[in-house]
Structure 1
Amino acid sequence: MKNNDLDEIIRRSLELRQKYHQLELQHHGSQWTVEEDALAYLTDAGLVGRNIMSEQKRWPNVDSKSELEHKLGENIWWLIVLAERSEIDIKEALNHFLIKTEQLFK
């Protein structure tokens, strides 16, 4: 994936989050807080675990592969949203993590 591809994914992710904010305003009169976004992310992260179990035939689910794919994508989306709401550049955060962790293996 090229860096500009990631830029486009980030742009689209943040645009989509704004659309969800509009739905929240319509249904609840306010946008979700960053804490509510974090809770939603954690819920979806748990569902990744459940879908992995299903994919490995350790939990019953008929369509686990497509659900796992969806939840993995959704978790990346949530991380982009949470980074933006926390004023963190997700690309820099990932790069710093990789550099630091790669140093452990040298």
Structure 2
Amino acid sequence: MDIRELQARALVIHDLYDELNLAQRGRTWTRTDFMLGFVGDVGDLAKLVMAAEGTRAMPGGKEALEHELADCLWSVLILAQRYEVDLENVFTRTMGELEENISARLVRESGSA
């Protein structure tokens, strides 16, 4: 699956959540709600990483870690859609900038040794 396919799949689940939230709570999630949900998922991911590294007891193992990584990716895809961010283009541009900056720093570091 490429990123566009991932985004399309994420939106299907988003729409299902909208239906569920309307039925259960009478409203859908706002962009802020999605961000807060993402923060919760990142917290869960942090605990699972700690468990994987042996610094915390947490049930679920690798399967739970995989699930949280997928949840976090889903949140990022939905937040990008909600804020009209072309994630593919922005990711490509940002990685190019990071590569250029890190490479320049490495050149400076090797020159100062």
Structure 1 and Structure 2 fold alike (TM over 0.5):
yes
Gaps of 5+ in 1: none
Counterpart of 2:102 in structure 1 is: 105
- Structure 1 stretch displaced more, 91-100 or 36-45: 91-100
Counterpart of 2:65 in structure 1 is: 68
The 8 Å contact of residues 47 and 58 in structure 2, kept in 1 or not, is answered as no
Counterpart of 2:78 in structure 1 is: 81
Counterpart of 2:55 in structure 1 is: 58
For the aligned residues, what is the CA RMSD?
1.1
- Aligned-residue sequence identity (percent) comes to 25
Q: TM-score, normalised by structure 1?
A: 0.91
Secondary structure (helix, strand or coil) at the match of 1:105 reads helix
- Structure 1 stretch displaced more, 55-64 or 78-87: 55-64
Structure with higher Rg: it is 2
- For 2:95, give the aligned amino acid: L
Counterpart of 2:109 in structure 1 is: none
| Aligned counterparts of 2:59 and 2:41: Cα–Cα separation in 1 | 19
| Aligned counterparts of 2:57 and 2:46: Cα–Cα separation in 1 | 13
Gaps of 5+ in 2: 104-113
- For 1:85, give the aligned amino acid: R
> Which 4+ runs in 1 deviate beyond 4 A?
none
Deviation at 1:105, TM superposition (A): 2.3
- Structure 1 stretch displaced more, 85-94 or 36-45: 85-94
